[in-house]
Homo-oligomer: A and B are copies of this chain.
C-alpha cells in the first residue's frame, strides 16, 4: 500500500513538535445518539501497519463506544502548537473489541495493550467512568497486569477520507485539502486559508 500524500506533512509535524508530549493528543468529534456533537481529547497511538488508519484506545464503558456503534463518522482535529499547524481528519471509525473475529485486528489490539504503560493500563481496572464517584481505594490497580487485555479494552481506528491541513505560519497562511477517491487514489488541492 502507498502512503497517502498527507502522511508526510503529518509525520513532519509530529517530528517537529516531539518535544511537547501533548502533541500526540488530538480532539475527536463524533455524533451522540441524539444527533448532537461530542468532542474529547484522545491519544494518538501510531498508524496501523500498511494502512492510513490512526490508532487510538478506548474503554468499552465510555460514551464514545455507544456513539460509535450508532454512527461511525468522526472528525479528528489535531493542532500542533510549535509549528502552528492544524490537521482536520474526517473519516470512519472502526472499533475492535474483545469479541472481534478479525485475526489481524485482534492481534493488533493485543499488541497495543502490551505496548501500553502500566499507568494507561490501570484505567481499564477502574470503576465505571461517568458514574457517581466512588472511594479512592477502589481505584487500586492489579498487582500484575494481565498479558491478555481486559474485556473493557478496545482498539479504535480512524480511516481518514478527507484531510484539511492549515499552516498558520505561511505568508499569509497555507491550506491544503486531500480527498480519497472511490478508487483509493488521493487528490490534493491548495486552497485559500
Contact = CB atoms under 8 A, between A and B. Distances in A.
Interface of A: 20, 22, 25, 27-31, 35-41, 73-77, 79, 81, 86, 88, 90, 122-123, 126-134, 136, 139, 171-172, 175, 177, 189-193
9 contacts: A28-B39, A31-B35, A35-B73, A36-B73, A127-B192, A129-B192, A129-B193, A136-B171, A136-B172
Contacts of A126: 172, 192-193
B27 A139 contact: no
A63 B88 CA distance: 13
Could you say how many copies of this chain the assembly holds? 2
Given A126-B172, A191-B133, A77 B37 contact: no
Nearest to A38: B75
A156 B56 CA distance: 32
Given A30-B37, A133-B191, 16 more contacts: A22-B79, A29-B29, A29-B37, A29-B38, A29-B39, A31-B37, A38-B75, A39-B77, A127-B192, A130-B175, A130-B177, A130-B192, A131-B191, A133-B189, A133-B190, A136-B171
